[in-house]
Amino acid sequence: DAGITQSPRHKVTETGTPVTLRCHQTENHRYMYWYRQDPGHGLRLIHYSYGVKDTDKGEVSDGYSVSRSKTEDFLLTLESATSSQTSVYFCAISDGQGGYTFGSGTRLTVV
């Protein structure tokens, strides 16, 4: 019942390289979100989208950019990866009526 998928599931990258994470949904939901989850901080919102080409910043947006050219895809780019961006990244979708549905997550390690 994977209405939302994230890719890749795991990635190791070097400091200073750009990285793009992909979130794909088949639910036709308007809202899409990128979160990162770190011990002691819980889930923190990076960026979100409320429609095609409509995006806004969350609480921890520095060093990240997003794009949404189609309803089903929401891309998160780390422009120049740093070790502090080592984290688990979750994409989520919402139809605006209730809670979120999360993707399975991407474990990113920046070495």
Partner 1 sequence: RKEVEQDPGPFNVPEGATVAFNCTYSNSASQSFFWYRQDCRKEPKLLMSVYSSGNEDGRFTAQLNRASQYISLLIRDSKLSDSATYLCVVNYNFNKFYFGSGTKLNVKP
Binding region for partner 1 (CB under 8 A): 31, 33, 35, 40-45, 48, 50, 58, 90, 94, 96, 98-105
> Taking phi first (over 0 means left), then psi (-120 to 50 degrees means alpha), and beta for anything else, what does residue 25 get?
beta
Cβ proximity to partner 1: between 33 and 110 the closer is 33
Q: In 3-state terms, what secondary structure has residue 83?
A: helix
Cβ proximity to partner 1: between 49 and 85 the closer is 49
Pairing of β 64-70 and β 19-25: unpaired
Neighbours of 7 (CB within 10 A): 14
Query: Least CB distance from residue 66 to partner 1, whole Å?
Result: 14
Query: Least CB distance from residue 7 to partner 1, whole Å?
Result: 14
Contact criterion met (CB below 8 Å) for 66 and 34: yes
Cβ proximity to partner 1: between 30 and 72 the closer is 30
Contact criterion met (CB below 8 Å) for 19 and 108: yes
Query: Least CB distance from residue 88 to partner 1, whole Å?
Result: 8
Cβ proximity to partner 1: between 20 and 94 the closer is 94
Query: Least CB distance from residue 34 to partner 1, whole Å?
Result: 12
